[in-house]
Amino acid sequence: MLAQAVSRIGLGLGTQSLPIVGNSLRRFCSDGVDDLKKALSELIPEQQERLKALKKNYGSKSLGEVTVDMAMGGMRGIPGMLWETSLLDPEEGIRFRGLSIPDLQAQLPSAVPGGQPIPEGLLWLLLTGKVPTKEQAASVTEELRERSHLGPHVLKVLNSLPDDAHPMSQLSVGVMALQSGSHFAAAYTRGTHKSKYWETVYEDSMDLIAKLPQLAAMIYRRTYKGGEQIHPHHTLDWAANLAYMMGYEDSSCHEMMRMYQTIHSDHEGGNVSAHTTHLVGSALSDPYLSYAAGMNGLAGPLHGLANQEVLRWLKDLTAKLGPQPDKEAVRKYVEDTLASGKVVPGYGHAVLRKTDPRYTCQREFAQKYMPDYPLFKLVSDLYEVVPEVLSKTGKIKNPWPNVDAHSGVLLQYYGITEENYYTVLFGVSRALGVLAQGVWSRALGLPIERPKSMTMGVLEKRFVAAAAAAPAAK
């Protein structure tokens, strides 16, 4: 039973975790056991030549016009980086190596027949561009399990923080506590050739991905459950083990966590957490440094806190209208929200122009596992009401729900009610995409990022003076 697996862990954590395999590059990169790294290494030369051909043949071609609004508006819409692992389509939603969310659900291996994909299969896809077999996905599960050991110093570092430290602050600190084991940092200091950078970046990335569930669960237990830690289960997959170590044994909760970790993993490269990880990594900061930087960006309220905003709005609604309001009352509440100058959180997206497929797959999950849950019923009513109300304003390009409109509801159903923790779960998932891309960034030899900035004075000189001179020229 779970209770038997629980113990208060001090500095002895490492002795009861999964075995460490040593401080070298481990057996994975030396004896052929690591099929994923071998598959990746076989792909890299061809992709390096592909990049060279693109630069040679099209390097001087324009990708489009950049307006002052774009430069001053958060660089929104400016094409300015290479990101191989995913691409956001305005109509189809996110595609992971060309595959949509429904494609992933149909093609990636699952832990149970007909169930949700395991993120290990997605990681194989992100790194190789190919859908793995069940055996290949299982090999990733085993590799991550082998790499998952956390040294006792990690809990010691976390316990030195104030009791009220935000979970995202703890995640950033915990990742930095792991950085001393960076293979890339050590190899760079030794003077390794740049053509080999990707190999140790891969090692660091796989190590970090492997350790994140235990680190995240450790943060959860010390913050909300009195510090009693739960040891990893020796047969569960990566995402299910995260839920288990948090204290949740229900098999459908494990399925929910597999879905959650899959659909939040990547959303092309321009969002704050992905771009930050890419930017810091371009300076040849190791994966621990770059990922921690990305997580500090994810902690910002405009990026990673959106599902919490949705829950707050839902709770305000039910506080005023009761737990099961009728649709007309919901419609009036939505209209009043807009009339007060506020937005309806969870609706609209900067790029998408239809219902977010990540919302749809969560809705389908809820219909299967929690059809009578009052909060799900309310979210379903909102799905029928909000797009219509928003469309009538004539001001909204995309009135449809995004991923954040639903994810908090699923977590609440399973008893994960600590809303400040939700971004940690988001961050664990996002590691899959940003670290996979980081491996490819080093394999392709992408340079340090250095966009050009401008002052308002420069813009005025360029455009205001030109506009004033135009009538005189006539």
| Residues carrying an active site annotation | 303, 349, 404
Could you give the CA distance from residue 317 to residue 326 in angstroms, rounded to a whole number? 12
Q: Position of tokens 């980081």?
A: 438
**φ, ψ at 151 (rounded to 5°):** -70, 155
* Degrees, nearest 5: CA angle 416-331-356: 55
Q: Please enumerate in sequence order all residues whose Cβ is within 8 A of that of 24, keeping only pairs 6 or more positions apart, or say none.
A: none
Q: How many CA atoms lie within 13 A of 59 on its CB side?
A: 7
Judge whether 277 and 438 are in contact, CB under 8 Å: yes
Judge whether 124 and 141 are in contact, CB under 8 Å: no
The single-letter DSSP state of residue 450 is -
* CB-neighbour burial class of residue 45 (10 A; exposed 0-12, middle 13-18, buried 19+): exposed
- Measuring CA to CA, which residue among 425, 415, 355 is closest to residue 386? 355
Could you give the CA distance from residue 227 to residue 156 in angstroms, rounded to a whole number? 12
* 3-class state of residue 294 by DSSP: helix
* 3-class state of residue 87 by DSSP: strand
Q: Classify residue 197 as left (phi > 0), alpha (psi -120 to 50) or beta.
A: alpha
Angle between helix axes 374-393 and 357-369 (nearest 10 degrees) is: 150
Could you give the CA distance from residue 223 to residue 424 in angstroms, rounded to a whole number? 12
SS3 content of the chain, % helix, strand, coil (to 5): 60, 5, 35
Could you give the CA distance from residue 290 to residue 296 in angstroms, rounded to a whole number? 10
Question: Residue 401 forms beta bridges with which residues?
Answer: 347
Judge whether 14 and 156 are in contact, CB under 8 Å: no
Give the tokens for residue 395: 């001001």
Could you give the CA distance from residue 52 to residue 59 in angstroms, rounded to a whole number? 9
